[in-house]
Structure 1
């Protein structure tokens, strides 16, 4: 994160609210190395926090009003804490204000805490599948935990962010994004069991291996609050119920022949993606520990094929990005995030970065797609006070 964003956030707060903030807090976006749509199925995921962050400046008030503003919108949204509920939230303010509401669900006495002024800035791309939403939620949750002296731990703050996104925003997402944003560490991925919420840091060792993660932002915007995401989640729940499982976490690769007999074709393919993706996460963790990141390319490729064919959440731009990156020398590539747009990632040797970027740019031009934004991300620390 550049000091410019911190300076801009502080200056924006001061200009708008006429005083200095209590402090600045920030939280990163994330790249999911592997494990897509497994989180809400109580499975396994392997994301890492990235060096793109959302910053929030916070000032306490002497009344019960919360005001929130951001560089992404001209409006200042104001609401009394007594009137705060998911029913009255919409648009981008639902993310920070949803966190305020959700903290009340996790023990904060919203009748006793003071009001707040919040100003938000970010360099996490919006709608790119890098979880700009969780970056907002995590930064705000950590900030309010501090200024309201709530004493909640980071795993609980991740649940607060998820609750805000599920109820206030209306997106039926799992807990992966908030966990990565709050628990990440430099050069490590967060291996998260989404059933127990136990997590473990796994060394990536990318720079030592002379590798990089290249993000290819297609520019195709997506939203988890739209129907496709919810439809996939509902199909997973139907499949688990038909198989007599509480969630797809309890279904293994060996169960797939029986699943194919019991389920319609679409539901079966949704189930097959989640079950095989869970196994790919476990295999990736084992590969990272035993052979290093250079060995995981084929697993990334298989993950994308599963999302494209079985879960059907890719789009032509993502498929082109993945195919072109691999043809140009990437060790592996896959779309990342919830799908229906957003970004792909490619595991690339440092010496091949320029060739892969040029190849992707040229391929998008030849297909008449808008120019993609390509950039390297580095595994970074999670949310912090700045």
Structure 2
């Protein structure tokens, strides 16, 4: 018996870090970036993990896989007489870039195991397992990543009210640029926590960052791409003051804006990862990508 699940990545448009403290956030799925999780029986007497970076005993994998170990153990506790398993991961989401690779494999593993064991867990149960794995991975997961990789539409999210789906199109183009530098969500979350607890100014920066999401939502519904872009640039200012930006991210944002983007910012935890730039047309997005090619390792262009 074999089961598979294909889960896609995501990009946070606005609200990273502030969402951890109860503010709203807006994120979108990226269907072109996905990871396929496949579960099958293993003939050897241990559970086997097969990824591009690790091949071997599932429970002896490096610490970065601790969230996945939790998921597998959870299902083994439900099915103690289960056979040994081989779980394979294949896909194209760069790790530690803010593109949701961790949430994608956590959700994919949970859904594939649920199907393999025919448990018929509810969506609420599946998301609870996925979010717990994300908390293991990142220290304090908001639930935003898991919600977005589980959605085919734009997600407006806060921790209290959960997910609200937005099907409205903005009629603009989003350029996603990979700095090539690994981000570190756990480190970035800890850094922001220290900043806002030790400085009233930093606490205000976080609040201002959180309040921008509601402005973006209204502008998005009104299809006011310029206003959305301006909010992106304001958010980048607050994120930089919270010390999660980098000189390369700052430079990429400025290059994008100088070339004609409506706005630009980091996306995700920061300290590396990706930069997003909101553009009126695909042609401009391509021009910016070409201009930034020496500073980035890859890029994607999405019509939104």
TM-score, normalised on structure 2? Answer: 0.89
Q: Could you tell me how far 1:46 is from its partner in structure 2?
A: 0.8
Question: Deviation string for 1:316-375 (max 9, x for gaps)?
Answer: 11111111001101111110000110000011122312221122226x3xxxxxx43222
> Which runs of structure 2 are paired with 1:61-72 in the superposition (5 Å)?
65-72=46-53
Q: Could you tell me how far 1:62 is from its partner in structure 2?
A: 8.6
Partners of 1:328 and 1:170 in 2: CA distance? 35
Q: Which of 194, 201, 211 in structure 2 is aligned with 1:279?
A: 211
Q: Name the counterpart of 2:283.
A: 351
Partners of 1:339 and 1:280 in 2: CA distance? 18
In the alignment, is residue 178 of structure 1 matched against residue 146 of structure 2?
Answer: yes
Q: Which of 4, 13, 17 in structure 2 is aligned with 1:33?
A: 13
Q: Which of 192, 206, 215 in structure 2 is aligned with 1:232?
A: 192
| Aligned partner of residue 63 in structure 2, secondary structure | coil
Q: Give the structure with higher Rg (CA).
A: 1
Tell me whether 28-37 or 288-297 shows the greater mean CA deviation: 288-297
Question: Deviation string for 1:156-211 (max 9, x for gaps)?
Answer: 323322211323x35333211111011x21xx3101121232x11113424xx2x2
| Aligned partner of residue 114 in structure 2, secondary structure | helix
In the alignment, is residue 317 of structure 1 matched against residue 248 of structure 2?
Answer: yes
Q: Name the counterpart of 1:148.
A: 117
Q: Could you tell me how far 1:293 is from its partner in structure 2?
A: 3.7
In the alignment, is residue 339 of structure 1 matched against residue 251 of structure 2?
Answer: no
Structure 2 regions of 5+ residues with no counterpart?
none
> Which runs of structure 2 are paired with 1:84-99 in the superposition (5 Å)?
90-99=62-71
Any conservation in 2 of the 1:205–1:293 contact (CA below 8 Å)?
Answer: no
Where do 4+ consecutive residues of structure 1 move more than 6 Å? none
Any conservation in 2 of the 1:204–1:293 contact (CA below 8 Å)?
Answer: no
Q: Which of 172, 188, 202 in structure 2 is aligned with 1:270?
A: 202
Any conservation in 2 of the 1:102–1:163 contact (CA below 8 Å)?
Answer: no
Q: Name the counterpart of 1:203.
A: 167
Q: Name the counterpart of 1:289.
A: 221
Q: Name the counterpart of 2:298.
A: 373
Q: 1:216 to 1:269 in 2, by over 3 A?
A: farther
Tell me whether 89-98 or 59-68 shows the greater mean CA deviation: 59-68
Partners of 2:113 and 2:100 in 1: CA distance? 20
Question: Deviation string for 1:117-141 (max 9, x for gaps)?
Answer: 1011120112221121111111111
> Which runs of structure 2 are paired with 1:13-24 in the superposition (5 Å)?
22-24=2-4
Q: Could you tell me how far 1:36 is from its partner in structure 2?
A: 0.9
Partners of 1:101 and 1:273 in 2: CA distance? 40
Please give the root-mean-square deviation of Cα atoms over the aligned residues, in Å: 2.5
Q: 1:269 to 1:340 in 2, by over 3 A?
A: farther
Q: Which of 147, 154, 164 in structure 2 is aligned with 1:189?
A: 154
Any conservation in 2 of the 1:89–1:98 contact (CA below 8 Å)?
Answer: no
Partners of 1:354 and 1:61 in 2: CA distance? 46
Q: Could you tell me how far 1:96 is from its partner in structure 2?
A: 2.3
In the alignment, is residue 329 of structure 1 matched against residue 289 of structure 2?
Answer: no
Question: Deviation string for 1:214-243 (max 9, x for gaps)?
Answer: 111111112224x4422323555x4xxxxx
Q: Name the counterpart of 1:219.
A: 180
Question: Deviation string for 1:247-293 (max 9, x for gaps)?
Answer: xxxxxxxxxxxxxxxxx5xx323322331122111111111112344
What is the aligned length?
A: 302
Q: Name the counterpart of 1:119.
A: 88
Any conservation in 2 of the 1:28–1:49 contact (CA below 8 Å)?
Answer: yes
Partners of 2:250 and 2:214 in 1: CA distance? 24
